[in-house]
Amino acid sequence: RFAALTNIRAPGEPLGSRSRGELPERYLRADMPPEEYLDRLAAQRREYSGFNLLVGDNRALWHLNSHEGVPRRLAEGVYGLSNASLDTPWPKLVRARTMLSSRLETLCTETLLQLLADDQQAAGHELPNTGVAPELERLLSSVFIASRDYGTRASTALIRRSDGSLEIRERSFGPEGCLGDVQFLHPATPDL
């Protein structure tokens, strides 16, 4: 089972009464298919601040955007997800998805972590208007965000191969830079 969560950037939107952090954990602990979990969650989505949730198993990957409210099974392909709807063409998303697509043949966790370390900010005319000040919009326009008060705290790369093998590597960051890596390897599993 797999779950990943992003917030939706919506300044001024009321805060939810429940923590979004429980959403991936509840899925991972649940004994139900991803589509059933998201169907149930769609009815309760207003209890949380805006979110995108990806959930899956070894058969399918599903997405729920709390603003849209409709669970969607993702077909095979390359997608991008940031702090808006799936594949919203923000400069950092387009850049990251393009870089990922160009490296699919030689993919490894280090390549993914390097992609997530891209700190190139978008040009002023490319910035989306999400309701935050232009200076903050520019800071948030890079894949990797670093500033004195706000920034990327962890980047996680997960590769699941068709033979069932799994590799997860997470790189953590603090105010002074990289704190270190944690890696998990799982060998091939027959009959997945």
Q: State which of 85, 104, 133 marks the end of a domain.
A: 85
Q: Mark which of 33, 61, 85 sits at the end of a domain.
A: 85
- From 57, 85, 113, the end of a domain falls on 85
pLDDT in tens, 39-83: 999 999 999 999 999 999 988 999 999 999 999 999 999 999 999
More confident residue, 144 or 188: 144
> Rounded to the nearest 5°, which phi and psi values hold at 39?
-60, -45
Range of the domain at 19: 1-85
97 plus 110 within the same structural domain: yes
Please tell me whether residues 13 and 51 are part of one structural domain: yes
What is the DSSP-derived secondary structure letter of residue 48?
Answer: B
Tokens 């969650």 belong to residue: 41
Inter-residue contact 115 to 99 (CB < 8 Å): yes
Which residues make Cβ contacts (< 8 Å) with residue 89, sequence separation at least 6? none
191 pLDDT band (50/70/90 cuts)?
A: low
Per residue in 93-142, pLDDT (tens digit) is: 999 999 999 999 988 999 999 999 999 999 999 999 999 999 999 999 99
Residue 192 has pLDDT above 60, yes or no: no
Helix or strand run (H / E) with residue 190:
none
Q: Are residues 108 and 164 in the same domain?
A: yes
- Look at residue 188 in the predicted model and tell me its pLDDT: 85
The secondary structure element, H or E, covering residue 177 is: strand 177-186
Question: Model pTM?
Answer: 0.90
Question: Does residue 69 share a domain with residue 99?
Answer: no
80 and 104 in a single domain? The answer is no
Asked if 163 contacts 169 with a C-beta cutoff of 8 angstroms, the reply is no
